[in-house]
Structure 1
Amino acid sequence: MKTILIIEDEAHIARFIKSAMEQEGYQVYAADSSQRGLIEAASRRPDLLILDLGLPDADGCDVISDIRAWSSLPILVLSARSDEQDKIRALNLGADDYLVKPFSMGELIARVNAQMRRWQASYEAPVVLALGNVTIDLAQRQVKKNGTDIHLTPIEYRLLTVLIKNAEKVMTHQQLLNDVWGKGHNHQEHYVRIFMSNLRQKLEDNPSRPSYFFTEIGVGYKLHIPKS
């Protein structure tokens, strides 16, 4: 049984989510503070985290940072903060998805299920790919540049694998949103821009003049794999 941890200080919301997720067949644990949540995350080792940013003892973004220091489990942020900069900060720190309160339980369930499916499907066949001085081992989920390990967040890694599967093909913003984040993100093209920029910064020698990750202006992006 897949497990979910909810870190949410509003008890009625936590109970509401817990009941709905248990009906979906998940085992659910809950914590009402960041301190308790981090303890639960370390001891329970959940398959997915649902996280409120407005916690009583810490900012939820600090929880994301702490979790990402040792785990790549999917993190779905559930917050009343609707400002784009709050979303960007949480995503840059390693959150996989962001849903603004008030929310539809049906949409939350769909996003949780989508994250679980993508997490399961991210275990790839043993393939090693070279992009110049960058080596990508899909079997080991390992990326190296000049022999040095490069840390990619789970969503950066998923974006990279989608581009690899569709190498030399222009992927529209919408296709990337659907394949990486799910169909609930139709109008959030800034997600793609943020994470493509992150990939270029980490993997390109000259991010401003990329050799592999190309922008098709007004359309989307394309991964070019040079022939050896």
Structure 2
Amino acid sequence: MGPQRVLVVDDEPGIRKVLRAYLEREGFLVDEASDGTSALTFFEHGPGAATVAATPVAVLLDIGLPDLDGLEVLRRLRAAGDVYVLLVTARAEEVDRLVGLGLGADDYVTKPFSPREVVARVRAVLRRPRLPADEPAVLAFDGLTVDEQRREVVRDGAQVRLSALEFDLLLLLARHPRQVFSRRQVLEQVWGPGHVGDERVVDVHVRSLRHRLGDDADDPRYIGTVRGVGYRFLGGAS
């Protein structure tokens, strides 16, 4: 597989320059956009040609953009596909709120940030494990199906749109019904080994996943909480 492409979306040229340098040093191809409109246009046309090779595998997306804000750009990207999106926010306290909105970002980076940490976060989302070939392609439970190959989830006959991270989180739990996963185990298997960050990020993503599945934390149908430990999938195979 050739070099992977990352799109950096930020209205500050200095930030784009630094991130480009660090990402290219790690072997990524890097494209830049200074506003939300340019970022969306890039996905329609690519860097000069609408080719599969030109499609980014990940987007570093600043929230505070001068035209469309980053959240609106994220909504439109999610409506079009499941590219990995890492939101960049200027305030740490925003992260919990943003995840709670269920916008579907795969990770969150807070300014000021270490460029090395940003590269590590990009690598982490790109190396999330997928099901081995000998695993069932479709997992079926009470009212819920998880199609690994198509990366689709259907609940009670209606399709549920998840971010790439939310899908991987659900897939991990659904593959092992009743098994309890600690937050650290979830981070290592979904975010990737060596993930740098607070384990509580697992909690906010579980809340977002539950919201999308219409699951009630107090009376869960699919994802149960094991207090002081972590989470487990409750659905029995149909």
Find the residue that maps to 2:127 and give its secondary structure. helix
Shift, 1:80, TM fit: 1.9
Q: Scaled by the length of structure 1, what TM-score is found?
A: 0.87
Q: Once the two structures are superposed, what CA deviation does each residue of 1:148-184 show, in whole Å capped at 9, x if it has no partner? A: 3222222211111111233322111222233223444
Q: Name the CA shift for 1:123/1:172 in 2 (closer, same or farther; >3 Å).
A: closer
Counterpart of 1:122 (choices 117, 126, 130) is 130
| Rounded Cα–Cα distance in structure 2 between residues aligned with 1:90 and 1:168 | 25
Q: Structure with the greater relative contact order (CA < 8 A, sep ≥ 6): 1 or 2? A: 2
Find the residue that maps to 1:200 and give its secondary structure. helix
Q: Once the two structures are superposed, what CA deviation does each residue of 1:65-114 show, in whole Å capped at 9, x if it has no partner? A: 1111102100112232222x345325721111111112112211111111
Find the residue that maps to 1:221 and give its secondary structure. strand
1:40 aligns with 42
Find the residue that maps to 1:179 and give its secondary structure. helix
1:143 aligns with 153
Q: Scaled by the length of structure 2, what TM-score is found?
A: 0.83
Does the Cα contact within 8 Å between 2:117 and 2:196 map onto a contact in 1? no
Which shows bigger deviation, 146-155 or 108-117?
146-155
Pair 1:98-2:108 in alignment: yes
Q: Which runs of 4+ in 1 moved over 4 A?
A: 204-207
Shift, 1:16, TM fit: 1.1
Does the Cα contact within 8 Å between 1:124 and 1:139 map onto a contact in 2? no
Which shows bigger deviation, 61-70 or 134-143?
134-143
Q: Name the CA shift for 1:137/1:58 in 2 (closer, same or farther; >3 Å).
A: closer
Q: Once the two structures are aligned, what percentage of the paired residues are identical?
A: 34
Pair 1:187-2:198 in alignment: yes
Read off the aligned partner of 1:88 and give its amino acid letter: R
1:26 aligns with 28
Counterpart of 1:211 (choices 196, 221, 225) is 221
For these two proteins, the number of residue pairs brought into alignment is 224
Counterpart of 2:14 (choices 12, 15, 20) is 12
Read off the aligned partner of 1:32 and give its amino acid letter: S
| Rounded Cα–Cα distance in structure 2 between residues aligned with 1:69 and 1:139 | 19
For the aligned residue pairs, the C-alpha RMSD in angstroms reads 2.3
| Rounded Cα–Cα distance in structure 1 between residues aligned with 2:237 and 2:58 | 39
Structure 2 unmatched ranges of 5 or more:
47-54
Pair 1:155-2:165 in alignment: yes
1:55 aligns with 65
Find the residue that maps to 1:93 and give its secondary structure. coil
| Rounded Cα–Cα distance in structure 1 between residues aligned with 2:33 and 2:99 | 20
| Rounded Cα–Cα distance in structure 2 between residues aligned with 1:202 and 1:225 | 16
Structure 1 unmatched ranges of 5 or more:
none
Does the Cα contact within 8 Å between 2:177 and 2:233 map onto a contact in 1? yes
Does the Cα contact within 8 Å between 1:129 and 1:136 map onto a contact in 2? yes
